[in-house]
Amino acid sequence: MTINVITISGSLRKASFNTALMRALPALAPAGFRFFEAPSYGGMPVYNADVQAEGFPADVTDFADAIRKADAVVIVAPEYNWTIPGGLKNALDWVSRLDNQPFKDKPVAIQSVTGGAVGGARIQYHLRMALTFLCASVFGTPEVFVGLAHTKFAPGTLELKDEPTRKAVADQLAAFAVFAARHKA
Amino acid sequence: MTINVITISGSLRKASFNTALMRALPALAPAGFRFFEAPSYGGMPVYNADVQAEGFPADVTDFADAIRKADAVVIVAPEYNWTIPGGLKNALDWVSRLDNQPFKDKPVAIQSVTGGAVGGARIQYHLRMALTFLCASVFGTPEVFVGLAHTKFAPGTLELKDEPTRKAVADQLAAFAVFAARHKA
Amino acid sequence: MTINVITISGSLRKASFNTALMRALPALAPAGFRFFEAPSYGGMPVYNADVQAEGFPADVTDFADAIRKADAVVIVAPEYNWTIPGGLKNALDWVSRLDNQPFKDKPVAIQSVTGGAVGGARIQYHLRMALTFLCASVFGTPEVFVGLAHTKFAPGTLELKDEPTRKAVADQLAAFAVFAARHKA
Amino acid sequence: MTINVITISGSLRKASFNTALMRALPALAPAGFRFFEAPSYGGMPVYNADVQAEGFPADVTDFADAIRKADAVVIVAPEYNWTIPGGLKNALDWVSRLDNQPFKDKPVAIQSVTGGAVGGARIQYHLRMALTFLCASVFGTPEVFVGLAHTKFAPGTLELKDEPTRKAVADQLAAFAVFAARHKA
D125, D128, D140 member nearest B137 (Cβ): D140
Segments of chain B scoring below 50 in pLDDT: none
Taking CB atoms and an 8 Å cutoff, what residues of chain A touch D119? 117-118
Strand partners, B39: none
Name the band, by pLDDT with cuts 50, 70 and 90, for residue C159. very high
Q: What is the pLDDT of residues D157-171, one digit of tens each?
A: 999 999 999 999 999
- Burial per residue of C29-61, b for 16 or more beta-carbon CB atoms within 10 angstroms, e otherwise: beeebebeebbbbeebbbbbeebeeeebeebbb
In chain C, beta strands by DSSP E: 3-9, 33-37, 72-77, 107-113, 137-138, 144-146
Q: What is the pLDDT of residues A144-174, one digit of tens each?
A: 999 999 999 999 999 999 999 999 999 999 9
Interface of A with D in 65-104 (CB under 8 A): 82
Q: What is the pLDDT of residues D121-147, one digit of tens each?
A: 999 999 999 999 999 999 999 999 999
Alpha-carbon span B149 to B158, nearest angstrom: 10
Query: Closest-CA residue in chain C for D90?
Result: C86
Give pTM, 2 decimals.
0.96
ipTM for the whole complex = 0.96
D133, D135, D141 member nearest B132 (Cβ): D141
Q: What is the pLDDT of residues C39-96, one digit of tens each?
A: 999 999 999 999 999 999 999 999 999 999 999 999 999 999 999 999 999 999 999 9
Percent of chain D at pLDDT exceeding 70: 100
φ and ψ at residue D132, rounded to 5 degrees = -65, -45
Query: Closest-CA residue in chain B for D183?
Result: B182
φ and ψ at residue B97, rounded to 5 degrees = -90, -5
Does the beta carbon of D125 lie under 8 angstroms from any beta carbon of chain B?
yes
Percent of chain C at pLDDT exceeding 70: 100
| Secondary structure (DSSP) of A148-164 | SGGGTB-TTT--B--HH
- A135–C132: do the CB atoms touch at under 8 Å? no
Q: Is the pLDDT of residue A9 over 90?
A: yes
Interstrand relation of D33-37 and A144-146 (parallel, antiparallel or unpaired):
unpaired
pLDDT of residue C127: 98
Mean per-residue pLDDT for D59-88? Answer: 98
The SS3 of residue B145 is strand
- A81–B90: do the CB atoms touch at under 8 Å? no
Among C47, C75, C104, C125, the strongest candidate for a mutation testing the D interface, having the largest count of D CBs within 10 A, is: C47
Q: What is the pLDDT of residues A35-84, one digit of tens each?
A: 999 999 999 999 999 999 999 999 999 999 999 999 999 999 999 999 99
Q: How many Cβ atoms sit within 10 Å of the Cβ of residue A52?
A: 16
Does the beta carbon of D137 lie under 8 angstroms from any beta carbon of chain B?
yes
Among B118, B127, B143, B145, the strongest candidate for a mutation testing the C interface, having the largest count of C CBs within 10 A, is: B118
Q: Is the pLDDT of residue C118 over 90?
A: no
> Any idea what the Cα angle at residue D56 is, between residues D51 and D60, rounded to 5°?
120
Q: How many Cβ atoms sit within 10 Å of the Cβ of residue C65?
A: 13
| Secondary structure (DSSP) of C151-170 | GTB-TTT--B--HHHHHHHH
- C80–D93: do the CB atoms touch at under 8 Å? yes
Q: Please count the residue pairs, one from chain B and one from chain C, whose beta carbons lie less than 8 angstroms apart.
A: 22
Alpha-carbon span C41 to D46, nearest angstrom: 8
Given a contact cutoff of 8 angstroms between Cβ atoms, the answer to whether D114 and D149 are in contact is yes
Interstrand relation of D3-9 and C107-113 (parallel, antiparallel or unpaired):
unpaired
- A46–B84: do the CB atoms touch at under 8 Å? no
Q: Is the pLDDT of residue A185 over 80?
A: no
Q: Which of these ranges, B78-87, D88-97, D175-184, has the smallest mean pLDDT?
A: D175-184
Q: Look over chain D and give the mean of its residue pLDDT values, rounded to a whole number.
A: 97
Which candidate, A178, D138, A161, A42, places its Cα nearest to that of B141?
D138
Mean per-residue pLDDT for A173-185? Answer: 92
CA distance B125 to chain A (A): 10
Name the band, by pLDDT with cuts 50, 70 and 90, for residue C148. very high
Q: Look over chain A and give the mean of its residue pLDDT values, rounded to a whole number.
A: 97
Query: Closest-CA residue in chain D for B104?
Result: D141
